[in-house]
């Protein structure tokens, strides 16, 4: 049973007891991500995530790592476009240390100048790594094109220029605005004593300062197909098409998830079977939906050698056109719904997966998460819904296309293929 409590300072706490486990996962979700940044502080949410592990008033960076290892636990964090999450997973008897360490990181970090300068180098290397990974780069390009002129276009990592500009004052200022009680959710799932956990949170997080909740700006992709190419001396050309989708919590998102599964989201999907299994033209080919507050998207990806990349792109377009023109079959609908439910259930059997789902839902959607409602929403997807979603989403009038690799000799052919797709199915 999920329980939600709000502390006197406005901090929301959500818990779920789980039977038959000996672990507990504790997460602190913060309404801070790249959508809240601008051109002057791009990447600061992610940089602060790094810096909170570099030493507090009571613990050095080494102390933090040694203490968590000494209790056999896992401590980590991640930054997304709309949120940052700090989390620990430990044996149930160590929940007190987990909460204390997380509170120490978020409330008592020192931001020492030497550690800050050192971490700038680490994060810049992370940025360079993205540029050296063509699959990461093609998605970054696609996102920048699709979300052009909105805050969602900004990279989570920021840029080398902005990273080099960060100092203690700038980080403190950002945290004072976003790391407030109303902008945070503490989540605990697994094996724990409820009263003891409430006491721990009151003592550790009850002193978090209050502040107004930050709302991300609304986003609406501009009409017109956008195309981008990046020349890199890779063995493969990496292709990404980004289509409009649906926001978090929307009914249509589940129909899109099923549709994506039919097109390229599983081993039995159309793109995977035709391009990889029948034609042998790619190792990796897939589609997946993404959902944010107020908007979403669906990406289609393939990586293939430059000699067959144009053919792969045309085959991807052919499979999309078949769905637009003819829809999907009842057998595909049933199979992909069952595959989605199975993947969802199997991926939901740990305390950490519960913590992720419950904490994120409360932070971003202001509601209690329901496992059963999610399964029901997948079950309720109909042929009529998938047909309506296909015609709305697969319309290339709001499509972005990006390609990374040895594209110089084939850029014209790729543009022609995309333009033919747009002329046939766009402007609807």
- Which positions are catalytic? 49
DSSP β-ladder status, 295-305 and 12-17: unpaired
Among the listed residues 162, 180, 50, 186, the one whose alpha carbon sits nearest the alpha carbon of residue 111: 50
Give the C-alpha separation, 328 to 326, whole Å: 7
Q: What angle do CA 419, 421, 424 make, to 5 degrees?
A: 105
Give the C-alpha separation, 167 to 173, whole Å: 10
Give the C-alpha separation, 160 to 35, whole Å: 18
- Using CA atoms, how far residue 357 sits from 22, 29, 189, 347, in Å, is 19, 11, 10, 11
Q: 3-state DSSP call for residue 37? A: coil
| Count of beta carbons in the 10 Å neighbourhood of residue 200 | 21
Place of tokens 């990181």: 105
| Count of beta carbons in the 10 Å neighbourhood of residue 308 | 18
On whether the CB atoms of residues 183 and 214 are closer than 8 A, the answer is: yes
339 Cα distance to chain centroid? 21
On whether the CB atoms of residues 410 and 237 are closer than 8 A, the answer is: yes
Among the listed residues 290, 316, 289, the one whose alpha carbon sits nearest the alpha carbon of residue 302: 316
H/E stretch holding 157 reads: none
Give the C-alpha separation, 119 to 54, whole Å: 9
On whether the CB atoms of residues 47 and 119 are closer than 8 A, the answer is: yes
Give the C-alpha separation, 424 to 357, whole Å: 40
Compute, in degrees rounded to 10, the torsion defined by CA atoms 128, 88, 294, 251.
Answer: 120
Give the C-alpha separation, 278 to 230, whole Å: 29
């Amino acid at each position: 049973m999920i329980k939600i409590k709000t502390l006197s300072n406005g901090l929301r706490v959500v818990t779920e007891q789980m039977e038959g486990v000996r672990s507990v996962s504790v997460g602190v979700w913060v309404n801070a991500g790249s959508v809240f940044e601008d051109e002057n502080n791009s990447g600061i949410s992610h940089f602060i995530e790094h810096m909170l592990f570099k030493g507090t008033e009571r613990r050095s960076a080494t102390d933090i790592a040694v203490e968590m290892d000494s209790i056999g636990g896992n401590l980590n964090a991640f930054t997304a476009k709309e949120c940052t999450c700090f989390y620990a997973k430990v044996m149930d008897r160590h929940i007190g240390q987990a909460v204390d360490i997380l509170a120490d990181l978020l409330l008592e970090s020192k931001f020492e100048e030497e550690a800050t300068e050192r971490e700038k180098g680490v994060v810049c290397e992370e940025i360079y790594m993205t540029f050296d990974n063509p699959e990461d780069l093609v998605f970054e390009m696609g996102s920048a094109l699709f979300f052009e002129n909105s805050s969602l276009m900004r990279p989570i990592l920021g840029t080398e220029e902005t990273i080099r500009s960060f100092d203690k004052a700038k980080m403190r200022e950002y945290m004072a605005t976003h790391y407030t009680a109303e902008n945070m959710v503490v989540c605990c799932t697994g094996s724990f004593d409820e009263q003891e956990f409430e006491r721990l949170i009151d003592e550790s997080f009850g002193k978090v300062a209050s502040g107004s909740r930050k709302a991300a700006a609304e986003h609406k992709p501009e009409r017109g197909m956008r195309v981008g190419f990046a020349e890199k001396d890779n063995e493969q050309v990496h292709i990404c098409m980004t289509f409009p989708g649906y926001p978090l919590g929307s009914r249509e998102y589940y129909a899109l998830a099923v549709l994506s599964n039919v097109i390229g989201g599983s081993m039995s999907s159309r793109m995977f079977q035709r391009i990889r299994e029948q034609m042998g033209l790619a190792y990796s080919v897939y589609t997946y939906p993404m959902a944010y507050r107020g908007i979403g998207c669906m990406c289609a990806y393939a990586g293939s050698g430059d000699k067959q990349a144009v053919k792969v792109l045309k085959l991807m377009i052919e499979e999309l056109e078949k769905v637009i023109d003819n829809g999907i079959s009842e057998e595909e609908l049933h199979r992909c719904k069952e595959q989605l439910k199975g993947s969802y259930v199997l991926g939901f059997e740990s305390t950490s997966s519960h913590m992720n789902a419950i904490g994120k839902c409360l932070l971003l959607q202001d509601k209690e998460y329901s496992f059963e409602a999610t399964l029901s929403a997948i079950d309720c997807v109909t042929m009529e819904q998938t047909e309506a979603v296909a015609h709305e989403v697969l319309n290339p009038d709001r499509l972005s296309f990006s390609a990374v690799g040895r594209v110089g000799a084939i850029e014209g052919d790729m543009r022609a293929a995309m333009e033919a797709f747009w002329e046939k199915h766009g402007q609807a």
